[in-house]
Amino acid sequence: MAHEDTFVMVKPDGVRRRLVGEVLSRFEAKGLDLHRLEMVLPDRATATAHYAEHEGKPFYDGLIDFIASGPVVVMHWSGESAVTVARALVGATDPAVALPGTIRGDFGLEVGENIVHGSDSPASAARELGLWFG
């Protein structure tokens, strides 16, 4: 167990659906510490860098279009095992199978619009925090 930093983003669908407060409350209630929060309209360069690991996959172009389709809310959280804890709060990638009690499980149904992103490792968190917060 270790103190970690992680990157979380409310995606354009989550902002459009007014779920920013809901996402924030869940992370705060869990006990993680919020360090930075900003609403930004992602440019395509940032969106493609963020999802570089998925380049070439069938859903990649649609994913970039989606992330650049409207404002997102980017956040820096920290705490004990923050990367794992954030992923647990977010839930499985496909909201149709994400467990109830998770954000995706409670509010989503389609993998292409799954409301929120959470870094998948401390290394990804460091890369994504640098990318979005400079």
User: Active site includes 50?
Assistant: no
Stretch that binds Mg ion, among 26-34, 65-73, 105-113, 117-125 (CB under 5 A): 117-125
Q: Which residue is it, tokens 């994504």? A: 128
Q: Give the separation between CA 57 and CA 30, rounded to whole angstroms.
A: 34
Pick the closest to residue 71 from 25, 131, 132, 26 (CA basis): 132
Which of the listed partners (Mg ion, ligand DAT, none) does 111 bind, with a CB threshold of 5 to 8 Å by partner kind? ligand DAT
Q: Are 12 and 70 in contact (CB under 8 A)?
A: yes
Stretch that binds Mg ion, among 38-46, 60-68, 82-90, 120-128 (CB under 5 A): 120-128
Q: How far is the CB of 54 from ligand DAT (least distance, A)?
A: 6
Q: Give the separation between CA 92 and CA 15, rounded to whole angstroms.
A: 20
Please say which residue, 6 or 114, places its beta carbon nearer to ligand DAT: 114
Catalytic residues: 117
